[in-house]
């Protein structure tokens, strides 16, 4: 399985380096109300929650405030350390949601806020579901909130169109981006290039899998 360096995740995103900013930008925690409504709709007696890819622990903290016993794991040690300092009532650990085994089961397992979007292959997704199974007992509820490739592609295409429009007026540095859905692995591939002038060879080209 692909080795994911926590530091590369941290480097990839400003808000992972600035967890307070992350929480400020994502202050909407209404998904926790959805989680509780989901549990009550299924008449489940949920007391314990495991969040896979819990980030700053913002959602767990809110659930904890409603009386749930909350556990979270995340790959990034700095985020986990920050969550531990900020929300002392949570049980947190550094771990990879593809492989972590806590030796316990939970009434509700969640992975929200697109944490599963970081998994790029069927094997990685299957490993995540093995983790979910390992932490479930009969009656455990599962909630996943993540972008699927076609939705992500539509969103990126809109960003790409905006970039193109902005660049039409900028003949010094021209950037273009184009997103494609690779159907077999279900990955969105984003091609980007930067040129000094319209017909100049690219200064920089890269392709990202999302």
Ligand X SMILES: C[S@@+](CC[C@H](N)C(=O)[O-])C[C@H]1O[C@@H](n2cnc3c(N)ncnc32)[C@H](O)[C@@H]1O
Burial zone of 33 (CB within 10 Å; 0-12 exposed, 13-18 middle, 19+ buried): exposed
Q: Show contacts with ligand X in window 143-202 (CB under 6 A).
A: none
Q: Is the C-alpha dihedral spanning 189, 192, 198, 204 positive or negative?
A: negative
* Rounded least distance, CB 107 to ligand X, Å: 18
Q: Which residue is nearest to ligand X (CB)?
A: 113
Q: Which stretch binds ligand X (CB under 6 A): 33-41, 75-83, 146-154, 187-195?
A: 75-83
Residue 90 CB neighbours (<10 A):
21
Size of the site for ligand X (CB under 6 A): 20
Residue 40: C-alpha distances to residues 1, 65, 68 (Å): 37, 17, 14
Give the H or E element holding residue 105: none
* Rounded least distance, CB 74 to ligand X, Å: 5
Distance, CA of 58 to CA of 42 (rounded, Å) = 24
Closer residue to ligand X in complex, CB, 126/203: 126
Contact 72, 13 (CB under 8 A): no
> Is residue 50 a contact residue for ligand X (CB under 6 A)?
no
Q: Show contacts with ligand X in window 109-128 (CB under 6 A).
A: 112-115, 118
3-state secondary structure of 147: coil
Q: Which stretch binds ligand X (CB under 6 A): 40-48, 69-77, 101-109, 173-181?
A: 69-77
* Rounded least distance, CB 94 to ligand X, Å: 9
Q: Which stretch binds ligand X (CB under 6 A): 35-43, 90-98, 162-170, 195-203?
A: 90-98
Contacts of 198 (CB under 8 A, 6+ apart): 171, 174
> Is residue 141 a contact residue for ligand X (CB under 6 A)?
no
> Is residue 76 a contact residue for ligand X (CB under 6 A)?
yes
**Binding residues vs ligand X (CB under 6 A):** 4, 9, 26, 53-55, 58-59, 74-76, 79, 96-98, 112-115, 118
């Amino acid at each position: 399985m692909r080795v994911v360096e926590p530091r590369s995740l941290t480097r990839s995103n400003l808000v992972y380096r600035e967890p307070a900013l992350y929480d400020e930008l994502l202050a909407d925690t209404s998904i926790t109300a959805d989680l509780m409504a989901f549990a009550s709709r299924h008449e489940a007696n949920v007391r314990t929650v495991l969040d896979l890819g819990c980030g700053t622990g913002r959602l767990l903290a809110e659930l904890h405030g409603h009386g749930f016993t909350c556990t979270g794991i995340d790959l990034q040690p700095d985020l986990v350390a920050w969550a531990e300092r900020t929300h002392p009532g949570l049980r947190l650990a550094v771990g990879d949601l593809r492989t972590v085994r806590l030796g316990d089961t939970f009434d509700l397992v969640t992975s929200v806020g697109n944490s599963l979007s970081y998994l790029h292959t069927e094997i990685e997704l299957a490993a995540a579901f093995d983790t979910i199974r390992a932490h479930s007992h009969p009656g455990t509820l599962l909630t996943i909130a993540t972008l699927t490739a076609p939705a992500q592609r539509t969103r990126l295409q809109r960003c790409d169109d905006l970039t193109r429009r902005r660049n039409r007026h900028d003949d010094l540095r021209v950037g273009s981006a184009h997103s494609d859905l690779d159907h077999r692995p279900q990955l969105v591939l984003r091609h980007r290039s930067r040129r000094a002038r319209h017909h100049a060879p690219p200064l920089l080209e890269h392709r990202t899998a999302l």
